[in-house]
Amino acid sequence: MTPQDSVPIIPSFGGEGDDGQRKLAIICSKGNLDMAYPGLILGAAALGNGIETHLFFTFWGFDMIAKTRMAKLKFSPVGNTAMHLPIGDARMPQALAPLPGIQALATKMMRKQISELDVPEPPELLQQIVDMGGHLWGCRMSADMMGLTEDDLFDGVEAIINADTFIEKTYGAQLLFI
C-alpha cells in the first residue's frame, strides 16, 4: 500500500458544504403519534450525520417525553383529509373519523405499519437520540402548565429550560418547528 494507491474519491461523510459546525434545533410541539415521528427521525438522521442536535419539547410535544404518556401516543384521523383506507387510493370519509373505536384502530394500524419498517416506537427512538449524543430539553412553561417536574420526564431529558435558554443554546442552528 502506497499513498499513490489511495482512492481519490472518498465519501463526504458530513454532507456537501458541511464545515463540521452544522447544528440542528427541532421544536416538537405535537403529541400525536404521527407528529412525533418526523422530529425523532430527522433528529436521529442528523445525529447519524454527525450534526449537533437539540430537541425542545413544548406544549403537546411534552407527551413525547412524559414517562406516563410517551408510550401511549395516539393517531387520530379526525381532520386529516389525507387519511386513506388500506384499499388502493380510497380516502376515509371524514364523517367516519370521529366514530368510537376509529382512533384506536387507526393508531394500531399505524404502529403496525411503522414497526414493519423496523422503525422503533418513540421512546426507543428517543433513547437512540440520547445514545448518539443528542440533547433533549423540556419546556419550562409547558412543565408548569401541566404540573410536571424533571422526575416525571424521560431520563434522557437533560433539563427543563425556558425558551430564552433554548434560543441561547441553539445559537447558529438550523431550526425545525413541528
Partner 1 sequence: MPVAIICGHAVELDKDGFLTDYEEWNEILAKQLAANIGIDLTDRHWELIRWLRADYRRLGVSSTTRHTQSAGGFSIKEQLELFPKTPAKKMAYVAGLPKPQGCV
Interface with partner 1 (CB under 8 A):
1, 5-14, 41, 44-45, 48-50, 118-120, 125, 128, 131-133
Query: What is the smallest separation between the CB atom of 19 and partner 1, expressed in angstroms?
Result: 13
Compare residues 28 and 143 and give the one whose CB is closer to partner 1: 28
CB of 42 to partner 1, least distance (A): 9
Please report which helix (H) or strand (E) contains residue 42, including its range.
helix 33-48
Considering the complex, state which of residue 118 and residue 151 has its C-beta at the smaller distance from partner 1.
Answer: 118
CA-nearest of 69, 68, 39, 30 to 136 is 39
In angstroms, what CA-CA distances link 24 with 18, 39, 59, 153, 164?
A: 13, 11, 20, 22, 17
Nearer Cβ to partner 1, position 92 or 178?
178
* Spatial separation of the C-alpha atoms in residues 32 and 30, rounded to whole Å: 6
- Minimum distance of partner 1 from residue 136's CB (angstroms): 15
